[in-house]
């Protein structure tokens, strides 16, 4: 057999139907509080799912419950990062992967726009200079 | 490549974008078990982090700790961290051997005296004047003392270096000692585990690299960020414990449904480590998720703490009823069990109970 996936394994007690996912509901309430906080104060919240003691069923339950919303984005920086807004606007799932696809961290960001999607300020000046250079202009020419 | 480059400069030179660096900091925060709110502080510090010299000494060990560290797929956050440090001596990984290797160690010590980080894996045998383990004709004890003298801090990686580990197990024929038993005038960070989780090893080094300080330690010298809570309190199976649902054997209904492994000897209530959240093999799984109880490998004297398959409460008689009856009372039970079992561990250590086939078949 070439991969672990090729080994037939029957797993019981995993999945929402099993009733064995207990840890997702408290986190959903934490997200609810974070949403109220964002709406009232504008303050963002980030929850690191990697640091939560989740079993296989817990994460499935959480992500199934949050569902998918209008926005999906992929960022190619040091491997792929997938950014998805859930069916609750302002609640985003941000998955950081290594260049070979291994999961590095998964964050729930309760914010208007996740930081990975915002162009870094320092890049703006460099981009203008680069574009000018590509147009055979003086890099400092902002006329 | 210039040796005085900061980590930020090094990453930029490799073509890592600012978004890539932000991602690097986010995953480093996760690796260091720090809250996401620390990401910007980590970014500021890592941008300026200088390249530290690291001397790694391997003594009475099985190389499992180095294996653990090098199992990660490149390029990961760990590999970026380790590409940044200057690993000047590691006799398992370095190309040089014999006199050339020892010369490299001498040079690194001279050039970075008082500033280098010393990493040790393996215990140090002191019986028979240290004759049980030597490198280049130098006893482990003499080499440790010599290198420790010029170190800024010492990281004892693995349970052998931190507490003596397997070589220290009764009857300890080599007189194995931990680093902290022998070096008392340097800051020491214990990173126990048999082996430790790779992200915990690199997380500790990342903390030193990022903040140029040692992380906050518990009373056994372990970083609280990773060892601050016990396995039981962070276990995803904990709700089953609260409900009194236990696997009784490794193939019964409870085992198949993923119930609590307490009665099968899980040492989660008395073991402090990050396995429940950091997991193993790129976050794939960990022993309890695979259906086997924790064996307590990050605790002192875990080899002598009774059978791996004996429930923690067994040595004091019918303590399982005491624990299980109290389970209905809720969270406080974990703490009660921990207190009870610390006492039991000491008793079991004195008796040096061995695991037998009967332990595996207990009713």
Q: Which pLDDT tens digit goes with each residue over A11-63?
A: 555 444 455 557 888 899 999 999 999 999 999 999 998 878 887 688 888 99
Instruction: Based on the fold, state whether residues B164 and B293 are members of the same structural domain.
Output: no
Question: What is the value of ipTM here, to two decimals?
Answer: 0.78
Please give the Cα distance from B217 to B197 (Å, whole number): 17
B349: which 2 tokens? 């250590």
Which one of A55, A77, A107 has the shortest CB-CB distance to B236?
A55
Which one of A55, A96, A105 has the shortest CB-CB distance to B237?
A55
b/e for B11-29, b at 16 or more Cβ within 10 A? bbeeebbbbbbbbbbbbbb
CATH number at B241 reads 4.10.480.10
End-to-end CA distance of chain A: 64
The answer to whether B209 touches B81, Cβ cutoff 8 Å, is yes
Instruction: Based on the fold, state whether residues B200 and B107 are members of the same structural domain.
Output: yes
Any A CB within 8 A of B26 CB: yes
Give the mean pLDDT of B59-74: 80
CATH number at B170 reads 3.40.50.700
Residues in chain A: 143
Q: Which range among B49-53, B108-112, B167-171, B321-325 shows the weakest confidence by mean pLDDT?
A: B321-325
Any A CB within 8 A of B234 CB: yes
Number of structural domains in chain B:
2
Residues in chain B: 363
b/e for B292-301, b at 16 or more Cβ within 10 A? bbbbbbbbbb
Yes or no, beta carbons of B30 and A50 under 8 Å apart? yes
Please give the Cα distance from B251 to B245 (Å, whole number): 15
Any A CB within 8 A of B243 CB: no
Q: Please report the pLDDT score of residue A79 as a whole number.
A: 87
CB under 8 Å to A113, separation ≥6 — which residues? none
pTM exceeds cut of 0.90: no
Instruction: Based on the fold, state whether residues B255 and B216 are members of the same structural domain.
Output: no
Give the mean pLDDT of B54-74: 83
Instruction: Based on the fold, state whether residues B194 and B265 are members of the same structural domain.
Output: no
CB under 8 Å to A134, separation ≥6 — which residues? none
Q: Taking an 8 Å Cβ-Cβ cutoff, which residues of chain A contact chain B?
A: 12-14, 18, 20, 22-23, 46-48, 50-56, 58, 75, 77-79, 81, 96, 98-100, 102-105, 107, 115-116, 120, 122-123
Please give the Cα distance from A55 to B257 (Å, whole number): 12
Other CB atoms within 10 Å distance of the CB of residue A138: 11
Establish whether the linkage from the previous residue to B16 is cis, with ω within 30° of 0.
Answer: no
Percentage of residues of chain A with pLDDT beyond 70? 82
CB under 8 Å to A25, separation ≥6 — which residues? none
**Of B224, B144, B227, B170, whose CA–CA distance to B193 is shortest?**
B227
Listed residues B227, B248, B283: the one ending a domain: B227
What residues of chain A lie within 8 A of the CB of B39, using their CB?
46
Listed residues B227, B260, B283: the one ending a domain: B227
A104: which 2 tokens? 């590095």
A122: which 2 tokens? 């320092």
The answer to whether B276 touches B234, Cβ cutoff 8 Å, is yes
CB under 8 Å to B306, separation ≥6 — which residues? B314, B315, B344, B345, B348, B349, B351, B353
The answer to whether B300 touches B220, Cβ cutoff 8 Å, is yes
pLDDT in tens, B78-105: 566 666 677 888 888 888 888 888 998 9
What residues of chain A lie within 8 A of the CB of B236, using their CB?
22-23, 53-55, 58
Yes or no, beta carbons of A12 and B256 under 8 Å apart? yes
Q: Please report the pLDDT score of residue A39 as a whole number.
A: 97
Any A CB within 8 A of B228 CB: no
Which one of A55, A115, A122 has the shortest CB-CB distance to B258?
A55
Instruction: Based on the fold, state whether residues B352 and B252 are members of the same structural domain.
Output: yes
What residues of chain B lie within 8 A of the CB of A82, using their CB?
none
B351: which 2 tokens? 């008796």
The CA–CA distances, whole Å, from B221 to A47, B338, B341 equal: 28, 19, 21
Instruction: Based on the fold, state whether residues B94 and B217 are members of the same structural domain.
Output: yes
Please give the Cα distance from B175 to B36 (Å, whole number): 44
Give the mean pLDDT of B179-207: 91
Give the mean pLDDT of B292-300: 96
pLDDT in tens, B110-145: 999 999 999 999 999 999 999 999 999 999 999 999
Which one of A23, A99, A105 has the shortest CB-CB distance to B75?
A99
Q: Please report the pLDDT score of residue B70 as a whole number.
A: 75
Other CB atoms within 10 Å distance of the CB of residue B153: 17
Q: Which domain holds residue B269?
A: 231-360
Torsion, Cα A131 A135 A140 A141, to 10 degrees, reads -120
Yes or no, beta carbons of B256 and A107 under 8 Å apart? no
Yes or no, beta carbons of A55 and B24 under 8 Å apart? no
The answer to whether B80 touches B11, Cβ cutoff 8 Å, is yes
Which one of B23, B76, B234 has the shortest CB-CB distance to A81?
B23
Which one of B20, B30, B282 has the shortest CB-CB distance to A48?
B30
What residues of chain B lie within 8 A of the CB of A81, using their CB?
23
Instruction: Based on the fold, state whether residues B77 and B194 are members of the same structural domain.
Output: yes
Instruction: Based on the fold, state whether residues B156 and B69 are members of the same structural domain.
Output: yes
> Closest chain B residue to A58 measured between Cα atoms?
B236
**Which three-class secondary structure state does DSSP give residue B41?**
helix
Yes or no, beta carbons of A77 and B20 under 8 Å apart? yes
Q: Is residue B347 part of a domain?
A: yes
Q: What angle do CA B51, B54, B56 make, to 5 degrees?
A: 160
Instruction: Based on the fold, state whether residues B235 and B195 are members of the same structural domain.
Output: no
What residues of chain B lie within 8 A of the CB of A120, using their CB?
18-19, 22
Yes or no, beta carbons of B16 and A77 under 8 Å apart? yes
CB under 8 Å to B168, separation ≥6 — which residues? B123, B160, B176, B177, B178, B301, B303
Does position A3 have pLDDT exceeding 70, yes or no?
no
> Closest chain A residue to B17 measured between Cα atoms?
A77
In the sheet that holds B53-58, the strands lie side by side as B86-90, B53-58, B116-121, B151-157, B188-191
The answer to whether B10 touches B4, Cβ cutoff 8 Å, is no
Instruction: Based on the fold, state whether residues B208 and B276 are members of the same structural domain.
Output: no
Q: Is residue B318 part of a domain?
A: yes
**Of B85, B164, B152, B76, whose CA–CA distance to B124 is shortest?**
B164
Please give the Cα distance from B14 to A119 (Å, whole number): 20
CATH, domain range A4-134 = 3.30.1370.140
Instruction: Based on the fold, state whether residues B188 and B313 are members of the same structural domain.
Output: no
Listed residues B227, B254, B288: the one ending a domain: B227
Instruction: Based on the fold, state whether residues B125 and B186 are members of the same structural domain.
Output: yes
Which one of B30, B37, B73 has the shortest CB-CB distance to A98?
B73
The answer to whether B194 touches B267, Cβ cutoff 8 Å, is no
Yes or no, beta carbons of B76 and A102 under 8 Å apart? yes
Any A CB within 8 A of B40 CB: no
Please give the Cα distance from B158 to A77 (Å, whole number): 33
């Amino acid at each position: 057999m070439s991969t672990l996936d090729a080994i037939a394994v029957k797993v019981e007690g995993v999945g929402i139907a099993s009733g064995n996912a207990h840890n997702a509901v408290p986190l959903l309430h934490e997200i609810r509080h974070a949403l109220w906080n964002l709406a009232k104060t504008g303050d963002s919240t980030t929850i690191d799912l990697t640091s939560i003691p989740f079993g296989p069923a817990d994460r499935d339950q959480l992500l199934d419950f949050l569902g998918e919303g209008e926005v999906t984005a992929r960022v190619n920086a040091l491997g792929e990062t997938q950014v998805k807004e859930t069916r609750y606007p302002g609640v985003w799932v941000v998955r950081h992967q290594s260049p070979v696809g291994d999961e590095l961290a998964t964050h729930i960001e309760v914010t208007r726009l996740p930081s990975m999607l915002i162009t870094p300020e320092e890049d703006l000046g460099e981009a203008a200079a680069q574009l000018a250079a590509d147009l055979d202009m003086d890099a400092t020419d902002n006329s | 490549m210039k040796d005085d480059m900061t980590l930020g400069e090094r990453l930029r030179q490799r073509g890592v974008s600012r978004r890539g660096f932000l991602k690097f900091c986010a995953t480093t925060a996760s690796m260091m078990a720090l809250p996401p709110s620390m990401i910007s502080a980590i970014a500021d510090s890592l941008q300026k982090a200088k390249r530290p010299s690291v001397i790694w000494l391997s003594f009475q060990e099985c190389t499992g700790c180095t294996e653990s560290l090098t199992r990660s797929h490149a390029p990961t956050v760990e590999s970026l961290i380790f590409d940044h440090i200057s690993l000047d001596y590691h006799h398992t990984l370095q190309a040089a051997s014999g006199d050339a290797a020892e010369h490299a160690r001498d040079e690194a010590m001279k050039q970075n005296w008082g500033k280098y980080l010393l990493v040790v894996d393996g215990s140090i045998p002191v019986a028979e004047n240290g004759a049980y383990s030597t490198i280049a004709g130098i006893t482990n004890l003499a080499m440790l003392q010599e290198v420790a003298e010029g170190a800024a801090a010492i990281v004892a990686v693995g349970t052998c270096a931190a507490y003596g580990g397997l070589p220290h197990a009764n009857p300890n024929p080599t007189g194995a000692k931990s680093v902290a038993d022998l070096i008392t005038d340097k800051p020491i960070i214990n990173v126990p585990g048999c082996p430790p989780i790779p992200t915990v090893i690199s997380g500790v080094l990342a903390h030193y690299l990022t903040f140029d300080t040692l992380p906050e330690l518990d009373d056994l010298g372990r970083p609280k960020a990773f060892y601050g809570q016990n396995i039981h309190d962070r276990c995803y199976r904990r709700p089953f414990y609260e409900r009194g649902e236990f696997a009784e054997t490794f193939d019964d209904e409870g085992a198949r449904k993923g119930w609590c492994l307490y009665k099968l000897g899980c040492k989660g209530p008395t073991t402090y480590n990050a396995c429940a959240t950091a997991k193993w093999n790129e976050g794939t799984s960990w022993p309890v998720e695979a259906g086997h109880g924790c064996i307590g490998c990050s605790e002192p004297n875990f080899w002598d703490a009774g059978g791996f398959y004996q429930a923690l409460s067994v040595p004091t008689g019918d303590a399982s009823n005491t624990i299980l009856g109290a389970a209905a009372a809720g969270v406080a039970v974990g703490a009660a069990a921990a207190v009870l079992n610390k006492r039991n561990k000491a008793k079991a250590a004195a008796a040096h109970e061995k695991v037998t086939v009967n332990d595996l078949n207990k009713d």
